[in-house]
Structure 1
Amino acid sequence: MQAHPSLAASADVVSRTPSAPSRLVTDAPTRMFHWLFALSFLGAYLTADGERWRMLHVTLGYTMAGLLAFRVLYGLLGPRQSGLGLLWRKLAGAPAWLASFRNARAISAINWRQGQNLVMALAVVALLAMVVPLTLTGYATFNDWGDVLGGDWLGELHEFFGEAILFVVLVHIALVAGQSLLRRKNQALPMLTGRVAGPGPDLVKKNRVWLAALLLIAVFAYGAWEWQQSPNGLIPTGAFSGASLDHQGRDDHDD
C-alpha cells in the first residue's frame, strides 16, 4: 500500500528538521541525589507527628544523612561541575557584591543575577549544613537521651531544625520560581533532564548514569533492611485502610 505523497513529504520534513540544541550541565548522580533528598525530607516531615509512623520517619531521616555523606564525598572527589567548590566560590563573591550594592547609584546598575546566585548558593549550603544537627538531635530523641539529660529540649531542638529546613526549602523553591519568571526559562528543568537549551559544548563530559543507579539501589536497599529490622515494618498495618474506614464512618454519621 503506497503512502499519500503529502504525508510522505511531511514525514520527510519532520525527519530532517534539526532538534533544538542543548547542553548537558548537571550529571545524573547530582540529579538523583537532589530528588532523593527532597523526597526523603518531605516524607520525614509528613511523618514527624505520631508514634505509628515513627520508624518510617527515622528511616527517612537516616536516609537524608546518608545522602548528605554521598553528596559531600561526590563534591570532593567527583567532577568539577558537581564540586562543592562552586558553591564556595559563589559565596566568596558576597562581600564584593554587597559593596557594589551599597555603592550603586541606580537599581539598573546592580548585578541582580549574581545576587540571585548568591542567595541560591546560600540556601543550598544551609540545607546541607542543617542536616547534621537535625540527624544528631533526631538520633538523641529516638534513643530517649532527653530523659537522661532532663526535659524535652532535644525533641524541641529537633523540631526547630526540621522547621528551619522547611523554611529554607520554601525559600529555595521561591527563588527557582522567581528566576524562572525573570529569565523566562524553567530553572528547575536542568535538575530533571540535566540539560539547558542553547548551543555550545556539554559542561558535563560523563553523565555517570551507573552511579545514579547505584545510589538509588542503595537507598532502596537500606529502606528494605530497615523494614526487615522493624517488628511491624515501616508503614503501620491498615494505615491507609484505617483512614479510609474512618472517613467512611464520618460520612455515615453525617447521613
Structure 2
Amino acid sequence: MQATTPLSANSAATAPRTAQPVAARGRLITDAPTRMFHWLFALSFVGAYLTAEGERWRMLHVTLGYTMAGLLAFRVLYGLFGPRQAGLGLLWRKLGSAPAWLKSLRTAGSLTAVNWRQGQNLLMALAVVALLVMVLPLTLSGYATFNEWGVFPGEDWLAELHEFFGEAMLFVVLGHLALIGGLSVLRRKNQAAPMLTGRVDGPGPSLVPHNRRWLAALLLLAVLAYGAWEWQQSPKGLVPANAWSQVPGGEASGGDDD
C-alpha cells in the first residue's frame, strides 16, 4: 500500500483565505449638494457679518450678501425639484407635528413619558427654517441700503433694519450651534458629522441613492465665479489693498493710505 503524504506548510499557505469583513462606512443620509450649500451659506454669513462695519470692506460685504441670496435660491429649487431626502417638505412636516407634541406635554403623566427626541428634532428644524426665511429680509434690506432707496437726509432706518436682521440671524445661528452641541452631548454622538461626511453610523439602507458630487462641484464653481466677477467689476477689488497691513504680523504698507 502506498503511504499518504502529509500536507506541507506551503500548501496550507496557498489555500484560499476567507474574505475578511470590511468595516461599513455608515449610511449616507445627506447628499453632497446639501452639504456644499450648508458650508458655503455658513461661510458667507460669517464673512458678511465680520465685514459689516466700515466702508473699506463694503463691496466684499455686499458680494457675500448676494451670495447668500443666490444660495437660498439654489436651496429652494433643490428642495422643490431635487431628491426626496433634500426636500423642504421634510422640514415643514416636522414643524407640522409641533402642535401634537406641545399637546403631549400637557397630557403626559410624567417627564419620562414625553418624547423629548421629537422635541429636539423640532427645535433643530425650527432653527433651519428660521435661518432660511431670514435671508430674504436680510438681503432685501441690505440691497435697499446699498442703493439708498427711500433714504432722506438724517434718516438711516434702512441701515438700522438691515442691522436688526443681521443681529437676529446671528442669534439664530448661535442658538443652532448651541443646540447641535447640546444634542451631541446628550446623544453621545457628533450631530455635526452628517454635514461633514454625509454619513451616520449604524446598520440600515442609505437614504441617498445618488450623492451628486458633480452638482456640489458646480455649486462651488458658481459661487467662486460670481466672486471673481464681482472682484473684476469693483474698481478697487473686494479686499482693500492695505488690508494685510492691519493684521498683526502682516507686512507694512509701502505707501500712504488714501
TM-score computed with the length of structure 2 as normaliser: 0.87
Secondary structure of the residue aligned to 2:247 is helix
Are positions 1:122 and 2:122 aligned together? no
Q: Which of residues 122, 138, 142 is equivalent to 2:142?
A: 138
Aligned residues of 2:244 and 2:250 also touching (Cα < 8 A)? no
What are the within-5 Å matches in structure 2 for residues 154-173 of structure 1?
154-173=158-177
* Structure 1: runs of 5 or more not aligned: 1-12, 249-255
* Structure 2: runs of 5 or more not aligned: 1-16, 253-258
Are positions 1:195 and 2:199 aligned together? yes
Residue equivalent to 1:69: 73
1:97 Cα offset (Å): 0.1
Are positions 1:58 and 2:98 aligned together? no
1:137 Cα offset (Å): 0.4
Q: Which of residues 92, 98, 102 is equivalent to 1:94?
A: 98
- Moved runs in structure 1, 4+ residues, more than 3 A? 242-248
Separation in 1 of the partners of 2:251 and 2:171?
31
Bigger Rg over Cα: 2
Separation in 2 of the partners of 1:246 and 1:211?
37
Secondary structure of the residue aligned to 1:51 is coil
Aligned residues of 1:31 and 1:192 also touching (Cα < 8 A)? yes
Are positions 1:41 and 2:42 aligned together? no
Residue equivalent to 1:7: none
Q: Which moved more, 1:71-80 or 1:237-246?
A: 237-246
What are the within-5 Å matches in structure 2 for residues 103-122 of structure 1?
103-122=107-126
1:16 Cα offset (Å): 3.3
Separation in 1 of the partners of 2:235 and 2:124?
42
CA RMSD between the two structures: 2.0
1:146 Cα offset (Å): 4.5
Residue equivalent to 1:9: none
Are positions 1:212 and 2:195 aligned together? no
How many pairs are equivalent?
236
Aligned residues of 2:244 and 2:251 also touching (Cα < 8 A)? no
TM-score computed with the length of structure 1 as normaliser: 0.88
Residue equivalent to 2:155: 151
1:234 Cα offset (Å): 0.2
Aligned residues of 2:184 and 2:190 also touching (Cα < 8 A)? yes
Secondary structure of the residue aligned to 1:48 is coil
Percent of aligned pairs with the same amino acid: 74
Aligned residues of 2:151 and 2:158 also touching (Cα < 8 A)? no
